[in-house]
Amino acid sequence: MRANLPDKHYFLNKPVPGLVDYLIIEHIDSGMNAHMFKAYNVSINSYCACKIIPVSNLINYENNRQQWLDEVLKANALDIDTVVKYFHSTNWRDENTDCMVLCANFIRGDNLEKYVKNHKNSIMMSFIKDFLLEMLNLFHEMDQKKISHGDLHTRNIMVEDNTNSLRGPAYRFRVTDFGVASKTSYTFFKDDYDQLTLILKTLLENVDYQTIDSRDRYIYNTLNNDYVARHLVERDSNRDCMARNPELLYKELERIDDDSRLNGISNKSIKMISPFDYPSLEQFGDSYALLKELYSELFLGLTQIEEKNNLVLTGPRGCGKSTSFKSLSLLHKIRTDTDDPVNISYIGIYYLCNDLYFAFPRYRIPIREDAYDLPMHFITASLLIEVLKSVEEWAKKHFEKEWYNQEKKVANRLWELANIEKPEEPGCDSFRAIIGRLNRERERAAQKHRFANDPKQNFGYYFGADVLVKVCEEINRSLSYLNGLPFYFFIDDYSMPKVSDDLQKNINRLLMQRTSTCFFKIATESPVSYVRNDIDGKNYVEGREFALLNLGLEYIHANRNIKYQFINDIFERRFRAISDYPVKNLQMLLGDSQTDSYNETAVEIRRKKKPGLGGKDILCDLCSGDIHYIINLVGNMVQMAGGKENIAKDKTIKASIQNRAIRDGAGNFLKNLVRLPGGEKLVQIVSAFGNVAHHYLLYRDSKNEDSKPPHQASRIELLERATLSSEADEIYKNLLRYSVFIEDLRGKSRRGEVVPRLYLRRFLIPHFNLTFNTRDSIQIEPQDLELLLIEPAAFENKMTRKKGDDSQGLLMLNIEGQDD
């Protein structure tokens, strides 16, 4: 810790122990746990950098010095010159100090933090691109050697001046301090990809976007919309094939200059080359026109989203939460000329939580209560900026005269309500001036958070949970043409662990308020990624403070025809976007399914056959709301069928190709799931359940029908509510977080209480040779759920064990199918 640092002047003009020819000549910098010095060897005209760390700041140093050194020196195993390697380590121990000394080659130049300060708002895109290429190359090497940095930030990345080199580039990037963070007492291990994302975002924020040319704007948008918002932070390769894959990310960035979209094409005129381009909202960038072209108003759950209440919206990744939220915003409607006041029933404000995460990464509730409102200040300022921008643009477009008559008076009142000092300058009574100040307030809150636990800091006024609502009420009262329209705040990607549980507890004080003016719609990736209480100890109850809408369940329970109308509308829009595409709808492309009877399919499976899967109805059955998956699946079918040219000849894709694509897709999902932290256990669990369900289909009959068809279960139903161990509970949450199972908390009443049901992700059903029938369940006791989560093989063995000489293969447990 900084308190343990010895006097830096003590080391000046002293030789480095063990390197007596090197004299310490200059203090370079000091951090929380160490001093950095420059040393010089006059005899060979050579410099080195010396890091001096007090032993009191080292973890486990006295007990196991070699283990400590091995961790700190692990970077020396990397065969890449981006890494600054230590060539000398020793103790500096005398009557005045007890320290560890690490020596490395001296790098001429500033660290990246100083470089950014010296080039504020003037960093070149070529600099950022070269930096990211260098880091991705390093990350690839680190992956190969299974080495992590653990504390990557702008202060331990050096920008080496290379301008005298004829070969270029003008700068080189060198990374220091591998392993030091994990072996010092002031910090904890930080995820390298998360840290790289924060650094990249900082660099992009210091680009003057308005002055760069179209080519650089394209690169900027790609890095901001693809790398920062998706590739570097995404952990699920089922969602993004390039997620945290340094080799693929490097190659994609390396060829960006050859991309055809660089030829002066503006982001608003993005054109699709294939109907299967842009399966995710993140890839749209700021193209409102493309979003309008592809968004279907037949979206399931739309009615509930637009109701006047607070809403927590969840569902599998890629189910359209972001697309629907952004499409419902007023700014989107303005940009796409669908903002006629006659058709506007609320003022929609879209906010993506990315910048909240970047401002408060890994947030923990601070010790000092007067720092509690820093995140509240940040998000309130962020939402107010979007409110003011949206209202001003809409008012100027439709109520220009009234707007100019009222803006000054309303702005003056808003300064008072926000309780921030109004600047003494012309034009300050305007929405634009308030927006400018709110942007500075965002930055102030984020910077102040760095000192949230510092007892020496003074904390002044910050927005509380009431400011946003008060300002919106004032705008509503003062601007007559709003006619009392409520504000709908669409808060996207409000998910743990990205938005930490403590950060959610803090901000829930705002987002769970119930008012007649403001309604908060929160999109989170699963029911377990949202915290249902706040830092004041208030618990939020579904049905009282908010409604819960799980899109996965909406699709599972929806009528097949309703699902088809929506899914087909999505593909019709995509086919229309390609002027000469040879098919116009799913009926033409996929045809009808081979059978409409789940019971017939089950009988075929019982005869040890794998039924063929294909047709538009089966495509609907495969959907758990994960539209992203459905788009990619159909795209894979087209590719396997020979592409657009072959489709033009045959129109309908062969059933055998459809079947192979469907089964391959499920297998690929499980392969990618293994790569996630704890993913191997998740695959074991879902495989155990799938094998049990298949066993039931082979040997059990359903008791719900007189004809006694095979038992067809693709869900778990508990007989009692379970209390899981901490280990099992964490695994359970991961199953839901990655939507391996979709939880229905409003299940069926059993033994006097409502117990949850767990539905298998629909596109995994073919992998285990099951049917899409939702009639039957696998009913289990709470202890069997614990067994499934901790020892899936034991669960499978127990559930498929046969009774003595039971020739019909009846199972030991008396498990009956239940009607929905």
User: Looking at 106-110, 154-158, 266-270, 622-626, which range is the least confident one?
Assistant: 266-270
What are the beta bridge partners of residue 757?
717, 744
Taking only the tens place, the pLDDT of each residue in 635-688 is 999 999 998 888 888 889 999 999 999 999 988 889 888 888 888 999 999 999
Give the dihedral sign, CA 242/244/248/253.
Answer: positive
How do residues 165-197 score in pLDDT, each as one tens digit?
776 677 889 998 876 655 554 445 688 998 999
Q: Which pLDDT value is given to residue 820?
A: 39
Q: Which of 546, 681, 659 has its CA nearest to residue 610?
A: 659
Locate 698 and state its tokens: 């082979």
The answer to whether residue 365 scores a pLDDT higher than 50 is yes
Which phi and psi (to 5°) does residue 33 adopt? -125, 0
Same domain, 125 and 152: yes
Sequence letter at residue 69: L
Is 696 part of any domain?
yes
372 shares a domain with 463: yes
Question: What phi and psi values does residue 776 have, to the nearest 5 degrees?
Answer: -105, 165
Q: Please give the Cα distance from 102 to 99 (Å, whole number).
A: 10
Closest Cα to residue 697, out of 553, 598, 783?
A: 598
Q: Which residue range is the domain that position 549 belongs to?
A: 305-556
C-alpha 785 chain-centroid distance: 29
Helix axes 679-699, 792-800, angle to 10 degrees: 0
Q: Put the strands of the sheet holding 171-175 in their side by side order.
A: 109-111, 157-161, 171-175
Residue 608 reports pLDDT greater than 90? no
Rounded CA separation 820/809 (Å): 26
DSSP annotation of 542 reads B
Between strands 518-523 and 311-314, the pairing is parallel
Report how many domains make up the chain. 4
CB of 404 closer than 8 Å to CB of 461: no
At CB < 8 A and 24+ separation, what contacts does 403-412 make?
A: 403/479, 406/478, 406/479, 406/480, 407/431, 409/478, 410/474, 410/475, 410/478, 410/479
> 314 in a domain, yes or no?
yes
Rounded distance, CA 420 to CA 503, Å? 24
pLDDT of residue 802: 61
Query: Which residue would you say has higher pLDDT here, 273 or 103?
Result: 103
Question: Would residue 290 count as lying in a domain?
Answer: no
* Residue 258 included in any domain: no
Q: Is 463 found in the same domain as 327? A: yes
Between residues 255 and 40, the one the model is more confident about = 40
Q: How many CB atoms lie within 10 A of CB 670?
A: 18
Please say whether the beta carbons of 310 and 488 come within 8 A: no
- Asked if residue 201 belongs to a domain, the reply is no
Using the structure block, give the residue that is written with the tokens 């996929």: 590
Distance of CA 76 to the CA centre of its chain: 33
The answer to whether position 18 is within a domain reads: yes
* pLDDT one-digit tens code per residue, 714-766: 999 998 888 899 999 999 999 998 889 999 876 665 666 778 899 999 999 99
pLDDT at 808 over 50: no
Angle 467-478/400-418 helices, nearest 10 degrees?
Answer: 150
Which residues lie closer than 8 Å to 530 by C-beta, 6 or more apart? 312, 314, 494, 495, 496, 504, 522, 524
Same domain, yes or no, for 34 and 171? yes
Is residue 666, in this structure, part of any structural domain at all?
yes
- List, edge to edge, every strand of the sheet that includes 741-750: 741-750, 753-760, 713-718, 776-780
Last residue of a domain, one of 514, 529, 556: 556
- In 611-752, the DSSP E strands lie at 713-718, 741-750
Residue 819 has pLDDT above 50, yes or no: no
CATH of the domain at 76: 1.10.510.10
The average pLDDT across 691-702 equals 93
**Do 546 and 563 lie in a common domain?**
no
Both 524 and 576 in one domain: the answer is no
Contacts of 180 (CB under 8 A, 6+ apart): 33, 34, 51, 53, 72, 151
Chain centroid, CA 622 distance in Å? 24
Question: Stretch 199-216: mean pLDDT, rounded?
Answer: 87
Q: How far, in Å, are 77, 101, 750 from residue 71 at the CA level?
A: 11, 15, 54
- The CB density around residue 811, as the number of other CB atoms within 10 Å, is 19
Same domain, yes or no: 26 and 152: yes
pLDDT in tens, 549-601: 999 999 999 988 999 999 999 999 999 988 889 999 999 999 988 777 899 99
- Domain final residue pick, 163, 193, 223: 193
Residues 6+ apart with CB under 8 A from 280: 230, 240, 318, 628
- Look at residue 158 and give its three-state secondary structure: strand
* Gyration radius of the chain's alpha carbons: 30
Contact 91, 75 (CB under 8 A): no
C-alpha to C-alpha distance for 149 and 175, rounded to whole angstroms: 9
The Cβ of residue 769 has, within 10 Å, a number of other Cβ atoms equal to: 21
Rounded mean pLDDT of 436-443? 90
Same domain, 72 and 182: yes
814, pLDDT greater than 70: no
Q: What percent of the chain has pLDDT over 70?
A: 91
Answer yes or no: do 620 and 736 share one domain: no
Average pLDDT over residues 508-523: 94
pLDDT for the residue numbered 317: 80
- Reported as type and span, the H/E element at residue 16 is strand 15-16
* Nearest residue to 159 via CA among 84, 251, 88, 216: 84
State how beta strands 347-352 and 487-492 pair: parallel
722 contacts 732 by C-beta, under 8 angstroms: no
Q: If we measure between CA atoms, which residue out of 150, 153, 144 comes closest to residue 197?
A: 153
d(CA 636, CA 640): 6
Encoded amino acid at 375, one letter: P
Asked if 314 and 516 count as a contact pair (C-beta separation under 8 A), the reply is no
Helices (H), 309-463: 321-327, 330-335, 354-359, 374-398, 400-418, 431-448
Task: Tell me which residue has tokens 């939020």.
Answer: 540
Q: Which residue, of 556, 577, 610, is where some domain finishes?
A: 556
562 in the same domain as 552: no
6 shares a domain with 72: yes
What does the pLDDT read at residue 190?
Answer: 80
Average pLDDT along the chain: 86
In this structure, the answer to whether residues 538 and 431 fall within a common structural domain is: yes
Amino acid identity of 371? A
According to the model, what pLDDT value does residue 810 have?
37
> Is 686 inside a domain boundary?
yes
What stretch of H or E contains 337? none
pLDDT digits (tens, 9 = 90+) for 497-514: 889 999 999 999 999 999
How high is the pLDDT of residue 702? 87
